[in-house]
Chains A and B, each alone.
Chain A
Amino acid sequence: MYKTTCLHEQHLALGAVMSPFAGFDMPIRYPAGIIAEHKAVREKVGVFDVSHMGEIFVSGKDSEKFVNHIFTNDISALEKGSILYGMMLYPDGGTVDDLLVYRCFEDERYLLVVNAGNIDKDYEWILKNAEGFDVQIDNQSEAWGQLAIQGPDSEKILLEVLGLPQARDLGFYTFCEQDDMIISRTGYTGEDGFEIYAPIEKTINMWNTLIEAGVQPCGLGCRDTLRFEAGLPLYGDELSEEISPVMAGLSMFCKFDKPEFIGKDALMAQKNGAISRKLVGLEVKDRAIPRAGYPVETPDGEQVGVVSTGYHSISLDRSLAFALVDTDYSALGTELQVRIRNKVFPAEVIKKRFYKTNYKKA
């Protein structure tokens, strides 16, 4: 039996194609289809139900020290109302999860927003490592709904449709608290946008208001095509217990000058050359689509990697992929090939950020 979000009935009523994701029965696409939903976000605005995401609060005297212990990024200079992206790691450098850390306005309090499929694992990991720290850990995932309103018109929608004038003053990766809601200027699409965390009933009301105002509902299908074009990783595909942030090219979110964090030593070793595989961008010079799991080969046919995510990019009209390849074949410009069904197609290693992002400038 799959879990459902507070908007499950709304998705069914809108005629969504539903499918299991991370233990939840989630909308993959609405009748408009993935391409129309994707374009709505790039050109105007779309709304996603992301209530499946997890919200874990850390508070108490040692909260800053503790979060810095389990998190790769450095929160010591993080101001109230600001957000950082980073990872939690195992001691061997493998990734527990990637997450956002919000420094709340209340003293000594942080919100960790984690991936839906990892909520239980993360909560246990956090509890286990909290021993000896004066902190309280509170998993509130089931009490919060979450909407992502994404696209160039998203600020206008928050101001005019949801009546949230505070949105105007939020810079990228900052947030404000309004009654029992958290409004943050964040997202997973490469566009300007907001994520609103609210209690269940409020989430349903806001969703209905947005749909009535004509905002395009968007499913997980285009969430994936959008984040992929923007070069953003998905836990399970580009980060995992076997794939460290260094392998995934996310070292900029790991602060090696911090005194310590779980996994730091292993990650340092990787950073200093001890990695066998790296995540790269690939362009296939054909309309054929490189899919997750397809082999990546040298022009001689030797397998040197595997595709982790691939699409025919909707915004760029190019066949693109993320692939984990042997480090020797990871340099930009390297000529490779992808085996698609029983044919091979030439491919070239290119930068992973395929699409030029349009985040709100501070």
Chain B
Amino acid sequence: MSKVIPGLLYSESHEWVKVDGQVAIIGVSDYAQSELGDITYVDMPQVGEQIEKAQEFGALESVKTAADLYSPVSGSVVATNKLVEDDPSLINADPYTNWIIKIEMSDTQELDSLLNASAYESSL
């Protein structure tokens, strides 16, 4: 069984969001990392890039496949996680600690369309 953490919001494309004021901290769920297997590369956006909700902002690559990352919210990228960029296997080890990007949200109401933990868990 994949782990789902209460208190986070989830997208149907298996990203999670932790809300910190205007900033959305974004990573991928345990389900996503276990489906992918050993992650070897993270394709990150640039800090400052404007991203629309549901737009592709990067990709995770495992040994065998590449999976696009879709943004759960709109806004501008304010940080990318260098630790994860240098060692993508951190996402396999702990997908909920090892975030990928932070976005300064342009419309926090978009959060309403995301799933809570129990709704996400039952969608798996």
Contacts and interface: CB of A to CB of B under 8 A. Distances in A.
Interface in A292-348: 311-312, 314, 341
Main secondary structure of the interface of B (DSSP, over half): strand
Nearest to B34: A17
Contact of B41 (A28, A221, A288, A314): A288
Contact of A289 (B37, B38, B61): B61
B43 A225 contact: no
Contacts of B5: none
A362 B61 CA distance: 40
A311 B63 contact: yes
Given A291-B66, A312-B61, A35 B38 contact: yes
Interface of B: 37-38, 40-41, 43, 59, 61-64, 66
B63 A35 contact: yes
Given A288-B43, A312-B41, A341-B43, A34 B59 contact: no
22 contacts: A17-B37, A28-B64, A29-B37, A33-B37, A34-B37, A34-B38, A34-B62, A34-B64, A35-B38, A38-B63, A221-B37, A224-B64, A288-B43, A289-B40, A289-B61, A289-B66, A312-B61, A312-B63, A314-B63, A341-B43, A341-B59, A341-B66
A246 B106 CA distance: 57
Nearest to B61: A289
Contacts of A289: 40-41, 61, 66
Interface residues of A, number: 18
A287 interface: yes
Contact of B63 (A221, A287, A288, A341): A221
Nearest to A28: B64
A28 B38 CA distance: 13
Interface of A: 17, 28-29, 33-35, 38, 221, 224-225, 287-289, 291, 311-312, 314, 341
Given A28-B64, A34-B64, 8 more contacts: A34-B37, A34-B38, A288-B61, A289-B40, A289-B61, A291-B66, A312-B41, A341-B59
Most central of B38, B41, B63, B66 by chain A CB within 10 Å: B63
A247 to B, nearest CB: 25
A312 B37 CA distance: 14
Contacts of A311: 63
Contacts of B59: 341
Most chain B beta-carbon contacts within 10 A, residue among A221, A288, A289: A289
A14 to B, nearest CB: 15
A121 to B, nearest CB: 26
